[in-house]
Structure 1
Amino acid sequence: MFAPKFSHKPILTIAMAIALGGFCSTAFAQGVFEGSGEEDNSGCVGDGCGMEFNEVSNSTDDTQSDNANGVETVDENGVKTVVYGTDSTAQDSVAQDSTKAADSTKVTEFFDDEDTRANYVQENASEYRARKEGFSKSIQFGFRAGAGANMNFLGNHTDGWNVGFDLEAGAIAKLPIGNDFSVAAGLDFSYRTYSYEGDNDYSHNEASISEMLFQIPAFIQYAFDEDGFFLGLGANISLKMSGETEFKQTVDAKDKHYKDKRSNTMPTVGVELGSLLNIGYVINKNLQVDLRYVQNYTNLLDQDVIAESTLMKTKLFTSHVTLGVTLLL
């Protein structure tokens, strides 16, 4: 009559035991748990399966990284080739070869034949070499020595002046400005002598002048061919370093008979300006000979301080001709 009593305690006890067992198995399993960094692998059984999976995963990641760093090349048939690897030297080599091949293809596209392409490459190589050598390599330095004579064709009261003697030596620099033209300049040390002999109504007169000076020639030179004749036109400046003069007078008159010698009574000017003409021949790239003509337009005698009445109205626009040899380094 009475329904049997049904107790809920056994059911609750069983449910709690099942839940507790599931929690423990989850907490101590070799699978996924918080902070492990491992992923569930249903195919993995036993200890260490998570580590084994990580090694495979890392290897896969490395291979993908290498694939990302691969070098792609295209051959003449359009076939693409990708080179993978961790060796940076090999990758750089492949990249350089690919760049050279691409540049070569670009250059070749502009030419119809191999001769034109070869000329193009050769010309560009010459330009590159010239730039690399630098500007100073284009300038030639050398030394010049010469000897010659001076005359007095221009001026006033030039009668009685004899041919003098010239010696010069110095340095020269030459700069090409084209295939046929060049600019040259020099610094020369020069020694000159002048002599005079004349008569007037009451005396016989003799005079001599000697000078040491610097010369600065500068001219533009035109070469008719690479190894042959050349022509130069320019200017010349003479700067006197020192000078000495001597004047001898012999008087032979009715009541007077004597000889007199006076020094430095006809001083010369400190600066002479003139034009220059240079004609020469190139023997080889290092040796050449030339004939240089300088015409001065400044009076040699300083009329403001001259003391000899016989030469007070004299104007000497001296001419100089020297034969020189130039050695270029």
Structure 2
Amino acid sequence: MKTFSLSNRLAVVLLAGALASPLAFAQGVFEGSGEVSDPNCVGDGCGYVPAEQASEQDFQYGENSEVSSAESASGEQVPADSVVSDSTLADSAKVATMNIDEEDDDAPHYVAENAAEYRARKEGFSRGVQFGVRVSGGVNKSFGQKSGDWNIGPEFGAGLMARLPLGESFGVATELNFSYRHYGYESESDYGEYEATVKEMLFEIPVMGQLVVDEDGLFFALGVNLGLKMSGESEFKQTITAEGHKSKETRSNTIPTVGVEIGGLADIGYVVNRWLVMDLRVVQNFTNVLDLDRIAESTLMHSKLYTMHVSLGVTLLL
């Protein structure tokens, strides 16, 4: 009876081991089984899925990593690969943004500086009555009857300026300038050679309308120019050659000029900043610079000289 019992127990043990082995092999993961742990399950009690299905799920989550943040907020399971992809993309965007910011670091300052300069120009040229000091330098050239022997001469000026804006793009300006002019004359005849110089000091009063045609500060002006002579002097030199002999004679103040000159004015300028304006001015006189009623030199009688004055000016606004 005892022997029978021992045999029965041994048979039960063997039978249980035989049944447990297939179950263990069925549930275990071993090389060549074709199944892996479910990548969508975390914790105990997770099952196994075919390897092909697991790789397809990983591939899909790798392509659609953008949904990780939204699914995490809703409480659903988020693959680990998507989090890594999101962080990588975020870092790349951050680096790109930092590079752009570093390259364009001077852009905001540049824009602000340009805006400030533009505002300063407009404030200095279009708002309120403006006063300034103008200095200029240029040349003169005479046109008209018997003007071919008159050379190009230098001239300089300095004075005060006032401007009244009548809008953002238009204004009226006037000046009171003290000017110095120099005219030179050279000619020859059968009797000899002639040289003359004429020097003038006068007040000039230009009145002009200025039109701003560009937001950067470019402007044009048209007007009239009035010249009032303060003082003048001349010198005439004559060299006569006769029978091999030369005789020289110098006469002073025999070439008088008129006391009042009237001319047209054209001006183009640029407002550099709130305090500085540069311009190129052309004045063409309509009156003869010589006083023919009082002239004493026969070679210059019946001359008509209409002078053109070209000058470059710089105005300092106060």
- The verdict on a shared fold, with TM-score over 0.5 as the criterion, is yes
Is 1:174 the counterpart of 2:151 in the alignment? no
- Structure 1 Cα separation of the partners of residues 213 and 244 of structure 2: 67
Is 1:158 the counterpart of 2:133 in the alignment? no
Secondary structure of 1:290's counterpart equals strand
- Structure 2 Cα separation of the partners of residues 327 and 192 of structure 1: 23
**Aligned partner of 2:154: which letter?**
F
**1:176 Cα deviation from its structure 2 partner:** 0.6
1:138-197 CA distance string (max 9 Å, x none) = 200001000000001x21011111000110000000111112110000000000000000
Secondary structure of 2:144's counterpart equals strand
**2:129 counterpart residue number:** 139
The alignment's C-alpha RMSD in Å is 1.1
**1:282 counterpart residue number:** 271
| TM-score, normalised relative to structure 1 | 0.57
**Aligned partner of 2:203: which letter?**
F
Unaligned runs of 5+ in 2: 1-126
Residues 253-268 of structure 1 aligned to structure 2 (within 5 Å)? 253-254=242-243, 257-268=246-257
1:247-275 CA distance string (max 9 Å, x none) = 00000122752000000001000000000
- Structure 2 Cα separation of the partners of residues 257 and 271 of structure 1: 39
Secondary structure of 1:310's counterpart equals helix
1:69-108 CA distance string (max 9 Å, x none) = xxxxxxxxxxxxxxxxxxxxxxxxxxxxxxxxxxxxxxxx
**1:206 counterpart residue number:** 195
Q: Does the 8 Å CA contact 1:227/1:284 hold for their aligned counterparts?
A: no
Q: Does the 8 Å CA contact 1:187/1:215 hold for their aligned counterparts?
A: yes
4+ residue runs of structure 1 moved beyond 6 angstroms?
Answer: none
**1:233 counterpart residue number:** 222
Secondary structure of 1:315's counterpart equals coil
Aligned-pair identity in percent equals 56
**2:89 counterpart residue number:** none
- Structure 2 Cα separation of the partners of residues 183 and 159 of structure 1: 37
Residue-pair matches, total: 192
- Structure 2 Cα separation of the partners of residues 212 and 149 of structure 1: 15
Of the three residues 217, 239, 259, the one matched with 1:270 is: 259
**1:30 counterpart residue number:** none
**2:177 counterpart residue number:** 188
**1:284 Cα deviation from its structure 2 partner:** 1.1
Unaligned runs of 5+ in 1: 1-136
**1:227 Cα deviation from its structure 2 partner:** 3.2
